[in-house]
Amino acid sequence: MVWQVQRNVAICAYSLYSMQDSVVVFDMSLTDISKEFTEITLTEIIKKAGGSIYTSYKFGKTFKKGDSYLSKVFRLSVYGLNEDNGRTVEVHLIVKAMPQNMARRAVFRSADFFRNEINFYTYVIPAWEQFQKRHSPQRAFREYPICYVSYCDGENDFIALEDVNVFGYSSPIRQECISLEECLLTMSTLGRFHGISLAFNELEPEKFEETCKYLKETYFAEKYRSWYKDFLKCASVVARDAVKQTFPATKCETIADNFLQENLYDDLISLVSTRSKLSVVTHGDCWTPNFLTRCSPEGRVEAVIMIDFQLARFASLALDISFFIQSLRDSHYETLLKTYHESASKTICALGADSEKALAWSELTKEVKNMGRFGCGMGIESLPLSMIEDGEVKDLDEITADKTLSDIWNIKPFKDARKRQRIADMFKHAVDLDSQSNVRLVEFTDTLTKISLLLSTVQFRKHSLIILLTKIRFVSRKNCLVHELLAIILKRTFHGSK
């Protein structure tokens, strides 16, 4: 029996109330999302949710300024019907779309990030789901929003994702720290997320490698140096000031000063490009707002969902771990890492792979120590941005064509000692970990700085560089930092020639 329905397609104007500012916005329509977001799109959404036709839609509350730099974000509810059984269908969405302001698009390189996240949902997630289906784990990894529809042409891009807020998930307040309980559950979720890749790579390496090719580096690559370098200088000034005022004349200040040099971007490029047996599909942007939590009626954190995969990349799992941990918990570091390892290992075993072979504890700790400085590199961006007050966030829709990333993210040294402390503690954590490691961050940064200074005044031949490197006492021939140093130095000296 086909049910007769009256299609309500005239619903296009709603009063929207910001959750924080109660600002009323009128005249919202589908074209405000994208000219490619049409009634056909709504029908596609309803069909994916088990219906056959859409009947109406309405927009929800807007987001506060600063919640999204790369995109404009909408809440949208779509209603429909399954004509075969008369069942009503209701889908609540978060729709991310390209900003209308072209200058904003250019400053934040929105097209690159949209393409990468859409590829993640279009190619990586289906490959993961098919892999898990073939190996039948008792508990499949599903801790991400459903993608109902997306469109990508570099100009009219959008992605419509399940709004998990309706299931009780919410993000932490940007300026506040999260509890240890939330940290532990987040690390457990991150372990399951990486565990899929580790098992996939062990059991079906060719399919795994093919899947990873769809992800492209969006942040640290030579072609993005000019885009990011000025902001990185600003972030380095803020970090250096925080450490100097919090831990003056200490080893922590020395390490931070050496780390925050002009060659930092080279090091970050090297870290995201390094491949090992622990390379996985990483989230790439592991700061707390991208892990939404749900609490029980008693207020206990019981579940985590991961969102925002614009920076997803094929790289070392240690990049995600170091990014999340470095800015959060010092005294609980080992507990957090063990929670991650246990969760990843269980996921690997559940998929039929050998967890000891895929992720031995000794290999994990070594990888994190070798790659852990990445957390500081990302933390000098994410921590200051997370501590900006709402009133300090610029109006992104007023960006003009002459603006750059550093003009918009124009962060300054903090006057609030508590905020400086959070940044400084990140470096103190790195120093404390470094003291337990055979790979010394202070020696690495000191030596790299000295070599860079030499190269700025002396023309070396390649064999001279190799001789020089072999004389550096802390670098053994088996140490992976040799390859990083060689890659950076040779590139800077010979302008990329082989």
Q: Is the pLDDT of residue 92 over 50?
A: yes
Euclidean distance between CA atoms 375 and 239, whole angstroms? 13
Strands (E), 247-311: 279-282, 291-295, 301-306
For the segment 393-422, what is each residue's pLDDT rounded down to a tens digit? Answer: 778 888 999 999 999 999 999 999 999 999
Which two tokens mark 415? Answer: 């006057």
Q: Once rounded to an integer, what is the mean pLDDT over residues 219-232?
A: 97
Model pLDDT, residue 431: 81
Model pLDDT, residue 303: 96
CA distances from 486 to 57, 223, 389, 482 (A): 57, 20, 42, 6
Q: Which residue has the higher pLDDT, 27 or 334?
A: 334
Euclidean distance between CA atoms 278 and 315, whole angstroms? 8
Which percentage of the chain shows pLDDT scores above 90?
69
Q: What is the pTM of this model?
A: 0.83
The dotted CATH code for 24-162 is 3.30.200
CA distances from 130 to 137, 208, 420 (A): 12, 12, 46
Model pLDDT, residue 326: 76
Fold exhibited by the domain 167-443: Aminoglycoside 3'-phosphotransferase; Chain: A, domain 2 (3.90.1200)
For the segment 438-477, what is each residue's pLDDT rounded down to a tens digit? Answer: 444 555 555 555 555 554 444 444 445 544 454 443 344 3
Q: Which segment of 187-196, 238-247, 481-490 scores lowest on mean pLDDT? A: 481-490
Give residue limits of the domains in the chain: 24-162, 167-443, 458-494
Bridge partners (DSSP) of residue 93 are: 76, 162
pLDDT band at 60 (very low <50, low <70, confident <90, very high): very high
Q: Which residue has the higher pLDDT, 459 or 341?
A: 341
Q: Once rounded to an integer, what is the mean pLDDT over residues 96-122?
A: 97
For the segment 285-328, what is each residue's pLDDT rounded down to a tens digit? Answer: 998 889 999 999 998 999 999 999 999 999 999 999 999 987 56
Please count the other Cβ atoms lying within 10 Å of the Cβ belonging to residue 146. Answer: 16
Same fold, 24-162 and 167-443: no
Euclidean distance between CA atoms 448 and 440, whole angstroms? 12
Q: Which residue has the higher pLDDT, 464 or 167?
A: 167
